[in-house]
A and B are shown apart, each in its own frame.
Chain A
Amino acid sequence: MSTSSLIVIILIGAFATFMLGRQRSLSVAAPLGGKRHLHSLPNYYGSFSSLLWAIPALGILALWLIFDDSVIYNLVWASMPEHLQALSDQERSLIYNQIQGIAMNGSADPSVDPAMIKAAEHMNSLLDSSKTALAIVSILAGIIGSAIALSLVKETFQARNKVESIIKVFLILSSCIAILTTIGIVLSVLFESLRFFQSVSPIEFLFGTHWSPQIAIRADQVGSSGGFGAIPLFTGTLLISAIAMFVAVPVGLMSAIYLSEYASHKVRDMVKPVLEVLAGVPTVVYGFFAALTVAPSIRNMGESIGLSVSSESALAAGLVMGVMIIPFVSSLSDDVIHAVPQAMRDGSYGLGATRSETIRKVVFPAALPGIVGGVMLAISRAIGETMIVVMAAGLAANLTANPLDAVTTVTVQIVTLLTGDQEFDSPKTLAAFALGLVLFAITLTLNVIALHIVNKYREQYE
């Protein structure tokens, strides 16, 4: 029986056990005088039976599918003749792939080692019996589960509460997946970074000002001395993000205030979606807009007043990135400003305050935590943004605070380090992980600081 038909059977079974559980609770209730004498509604008894059928059956199915392959692999190898057993791991997996091919498609090629054909036959029989066993075991587990559930159905049995706690477990598991994934990513980045720091000292990495991540293949090669000082990258990131926030925060905040406090409903309903479209434009589009339109015009403007501007500049990337981020700031701020109770505004107007006084002194402080949250999200977006910078700010790792120079950022360097043919354990590729780690630490610190500031200064309304 194939896996998909097994899943269908389990689902049909789930429906059947639901009906059974429901029916059973009704027949328990009948002599007592109707379903209001049950602890829970009949549907809860149904759901409970159905869950006790489906969870064991699907659980066994999932576990089986995870461990299936490695068990079969070991069993197939165990039955192999000596001369194949003696091979190295890499050759083994090559041969195993061939065996899999033969098992699936058959082989007409007479030159194939007969031992392999035998192994393929063995594999096929193993697969068959595995599928049959899986079907039997999982359905059996489901039957046991639902039998227990059905035997529990009594008027005093608290099916409603049981279903509630099963749902709770599912919710907890889902949030665990998110948390565990984050932990997993952080750990893997951490371990790769540690490997990087074995070849490059953390001091050089964190405080060095020279970035040219080349590792010489021959000792006499040009540019053989690689430099892994990450300072220029972080200043580049900070410079561009700062320019972006300089554009996005005032513009976004003021348009949010206009939308929520001054605009009529009609205007608001029209303008807000248009602003949010900005967030939907792919960053690569912003990227070529920055590279082809903004950067040249900044250059021309700079030259006309006698400044030397490189054709790729931090200013161009930062400005366009700021525009990209405006909807984050404006949309989130608009929502929180809107959520400030009308009673606060009425109180202020009732004392003879003007609109802008009311906004500055009452609405804005009350909305501050949410606004800071929106700005933090925007900063994280700015720091993590890659595409615009690649296209508009260049790849040159200059250590400069001049927005008219070309700079590069951490994320751009991570991309260039990892693209192309690379050995995966050279310091050059491992440097990407170290950069990622530091970036992660920076965003985390920013968030913690912001949280702290918000808690300290917020004006909480009920």
Chain B
Amino acid sequence: MSLTDTADASTGLAFGDEPSTVQENSSMDVSTSDIPETAVGQPLVSDPKMTMRNVDVFYGEKQAIFKVNLDIARNEVIAMIGPSGCGKSTFLRCLNRMNDTIVDCRVGGQIELDENSIFDAKLDVVSLRARVGMVFQKPNPFPKSIYENVAYGPKIHGLASGRTELDEIVETSLQKAGLWDEVKDRLQEPGTGLSGGQQQRLCIARAIAVSPEVILMDEPCSALDPIATAKIEELIAELSENFTIAIVTHSMQQAARVSDRTAYFHLGYLVEVNDTETVFTNPSHRLTEAYITGRFG
């Protein structure tokens, strides 16, 4: 993806990324009765990688996610979109139980990875997170060398039996993340000294170094410039050959460019899930249409 493509997409206004400055009060005024019980479109697939049934999330007394049913297919890229505060991050963090680290956050319902419940007492949350990796909104490399950043995961999981094997893992991970050529001569320099886009690719390399099956990305490009964004998007396309990817994004062009399916969240409800193409050209639900045509953000 080159810079011009990105620019075209944003000037072409195919889906109206920027909401109009004047918000229409009528379309903001949605009652929850307008939201369907189960998401319209195709939330369920056959032979899914992950399944979520009746997922509720509470922060203390406040409910942030309501009865979400969704499947994630093998090796697909699924994009989650929706207005700010609708619960995209919360939902994503359920998938590898990152919400456990938040005090008084409670998750209800059933979530399965390869048909095994992730809440199963026998399944260790640590190994779950090794299988379902995560890339965060703001690049957060550890204040260690580039090499140590990538080697961190393999080391704690004992994935390498010796130094040479570890070197190999680091090299292939950095290569897959498209960062190898830029950093191969300075692996011992601190990861925090890289540019924002490089740092984010380092975080992706760090995540794929433990060979996860699913990668969760929470707005991975929101802190990056268009060129770095284009690189990450290219990377996502390549990674989808081997990994299952769930990505939260605020850019509808990005969702359109990288994802196979798109899920639209609204006020904690999953409203619509469908092929990305369908969602953006022919949305079934009024709320989805209102959002993608930019009537509220």
Question: What's the least CB distance linking A102 to chain B, in Å?
Answer: 74
Chain A residues with CB under 8 Å of B128's CB are: 352
Which chain B residue shows the least CB distance to A265? B103
Residue pair A366, B210 in contact (C-beta under 8 Å): no
Question: What's the least CB distance linking B123 to chain A, in Å?
Answer: 12
Cβ-based interface call for A400 (8 A): no
Which chain B residue shows the least CB distance to A341? B140
Cβ-based interface call for A459 (8 A): yes
Chain A residues with CB under 8 Å of B203's CB are: 347
Chain A residues with CB under 8 Å of B143's CB are: 344, 365-366, 459-461
A461 vs B142: C-alpha distance in the bound complex, in angstroms? 7
A377 vs B129: C-alpha distance in the bound complex, in angstroms? 40
Cβ-based interface call for B286 (8 A): no
Residue pair B152, A352 in contact (C-beta under 8 Å): no
Stretch binding the partner chain, chosen from A121-129, A234-242, A353-361, A424-432: A353-361
Cβ-based interface call for B220 (8 A): no
Chain B residues with CB under 8 Å of A461's CB are: 143, 192
Residue pair A345, B101 in contact (C-beta under 8 Å): yes
Chain A residues with CB under 8 Å of B206's CB are: 347, 351
Cβ-based interface call for A264 (8 A): yes
Chain B residues with CB under 8 Å of A420's CB are: none
Q: Secondary structure at chain A's binding surface: helix, strand, loop or mixed?
A: helix
Question: What's the least CB distance linking B151 to chain A, in Å?
Answer: 11
Cβ-based interface call for B48 (8 A): no
Cβ-based interface call for B98 (8 A): yes
Residue pair B142, A346 in contact (C-beta under 8 Å): no
Chain A residues with CB under 8 Å of B156's CB are: 351-354, 357, 361
Chain B residues with CB under 8 Å of A365's CB are: 143-144
Residue pair A351, B144 in contact (C-beta under 8 Å): no
Chain B residues with CB under 8 Å of A357's CB are: 156
Please indicate which of the listed interface residues A351, A357, A361, A460 has the most CB atoms of chain B within 10 Å of its own CB: A351
A349 vs B156: C-alpha distance in the bound complex, in angstroms? 11
Interface size class of A (residues with CB under 8 A): 20 to 34
The 8 A CB mask of A114-154 against B (1 = contact, 0 = none) is 00000000000000000000000000000000000000000
Interface size class of B (residues with CB under 8 A): 20 to 34
A396 vs B207: C-alpha distance in the bound complex, in angstroms? 62
Which chain B residue shows the least CB distance to A343? B140
Question: What's the least CB distance linking B155 to chain A, in Å?
Answer: 8
The 8 A CB mask of B113-141 against A (1 = contact, 0 = none) is 00000000000001111100111101011
Cβ-based interface call for B190 (8 A): yes
Cβ-based interface call for A31 (8 A): no
Q: A351-B130, A352-B130, A460-B190 are in contact. Are A346 and B136 (CB under 8 A)?
A: yes
Cβ-based interface call for B90 (8 A): no
Cβ-based interface call for A7 (8 A): no
Chain A residues with CB under 8 Å of B101's CB are: 345-346, 349
Cβ-based interface call for B153 (8 A): yes
Q: A264-B103, A357-B156, A361-B152 are in contact. Are A350 and B98 (CB under 8 A)?
A: yes
Residue pair B136, A349 in contact (C-beta under 8 Å): no
Residue pair A350, B192 in contact (C-beta under 8 Å): no
Residue pair A350, B136 in contact (C-beta under 8 Å): yes
Which chain B residue shows the least CB distance to A361? B152
Cβ-based interface call for B262 (8 A): no
Chain B residues with CB under 8 Å of A345's CB are: 101
Q: Which of B151-199 contact A (CB under 8 A)?
A: 152-153, 156-157, 190, 192
Cβ-based interface call for A462 (8 A): yes
Residue pair A352, B140 in contact (C-beta under 8 Å): no
The 8 A CB mask of A334-347 against B (1 = contact, 0 = none) is 00000001011111
Chain A residues with CB under 8 Å of B138's CB are: 343
Residue pair B207, A350 in contact (C-beta under 8 Å): yes
Cβ-based interface call for A214 (8 A): no
Cβ-based interface call for B259 (8 A): no
Residue pair B103, A352 in contact (C-beta under 8 Å): no
Residue pair A349, B142 in contact (C-beta under 8 Å): no
Which chain A residue shows the least CB distance to B155? A361
Residue pair B192, A351 in contact (C-beta under 8 Å): no
Question: What's the least CB distance linking A68 to chain B, in Å?
Answer: 59
- What 10 A-B pairs have minimum CB-CB distances, sorted nearest first? A352-B130, A459-B143, A350-B134, A352-B129, A343-B140, A351-B153, A461-B143, A347-B140, A352-B126, A353-B156
Identify 14 new A-B residue pairs, CB closer than 8 A, beyond the known A351-B129, A351-B210, A352-B157.
A344-B140, A346-B136, A347-B140, A349-B129, A350-B129, A350-B207, A351-B156, A352-B126, A352-B153, A352-B156, A354-B126, A362-B142, A459-B143, A459-B190
Can you give 12 contacting A-B residue pairs, CB < 8 Å? A343-B140, A344-B140, A347-B136, A347-B141, A347-B203, A347-B206, A351-B153, A351-B210, A352-B153, A361-B152, A365-B143, A366-B142
